[in-house]
Structure 1
Amino acid sequence: MNSIASAAPSLPAMTSADVEKVRGLESHLLGMEQVAIQTQHHFHAGLYSRTIRIPAGVMITGALINIPTLLIVSGHVTVFIGGETLELKGYHIVPGQAGRKQVFVAHADTDLTMTFATQAKTVEDAESEFTNQPTALMSRQQSNDLTITTGE
């Protein structure tokens, strides 16, 4: 039997004005002490995923995402989705549209995993696929990342 459920949360495309608001906040945050965040990269069966843990009390901005992705959230976070915020507590699988640049505020340690289908075989190629500014990613700024490739 099928049941009807309420609409799941989603990450919509953002207006250019909302993206600029995030960029303004990002410029401000870059002037503050930065928290080191490790990125775990996985390649398996034509999928690429990247996972970060945002410590409680930390605010981060994300890259401008140019393709549709799924975002898996585990923890407690508030995310600015353009004109409003979305509070996610617990475990959520959230579809995200192309054209978004989110702000995340972690209320508890929170894991975020973004995934998408790709033909990329390297982290650099996958990052260049989902954003036009891959050199600005934390994974390009830090050397403590972990990459797992299954060969599938």
Structure 2
Amino acid sequence: MRLMREAKKVKQETIAHLTKVSAPQVSKIEAGKRRATRAFAVAVDDYLGAGGALVNLWEDLNKDGHPVPIWFDWPVIEADAAMLVCYEQSVMPGLAQTPAYASAILHGNQEAVEARISRQAIITGGDRTVPPTLVIMVDEQALHRPVGTSETMSSFQRDAVSRS
């Protein structure tokens, strides 16, 4: 999108005004840090005269209701890693979440919770003789920010203490 926008000499502020999002949000969408809505993709595609390219890309990235491309198999990539490093500012990373915590974050989507928790086999050994080194940096507030019920937080904190 950025290449198309710059080729037409259109500013992010123009896209922001057109789509009714902030210019920083447009920047994050272009950098892949924020997910665009389909309406956003349609509006920008029309404005830039992209001939459906941006809409087709959006649809490819959201096939079958999945928010990432079907070809992007993150658990496989993680399973081959020698070291996993993650930084979270707001919540605990998925590799450190309990099922109850994940359920609260994922709004009770049990399939997504099971997928997230199953990824933890990567750090507990799974099929590998030597699991990857896991480095997690978390803003202290993420440790205290309520997620789900008080029982969810109590069990998360108990589990976190037993893991350390």
Is the structural similarity TM-score above 0.5?
no
**Between structures 1 and 2, the one with greater helix share:** 2
Q: Pick the structure with greater CA Rg.
A: 2
Q: TM-score under structure 2 normalisation?
A: 0.27
- Which protein, 1 or 2, shows the higher relative CO under an 8 Å CA cutoff with sep ≥ 6? 1
**Between structures 1 and 2, the one with greater strand share:** 1
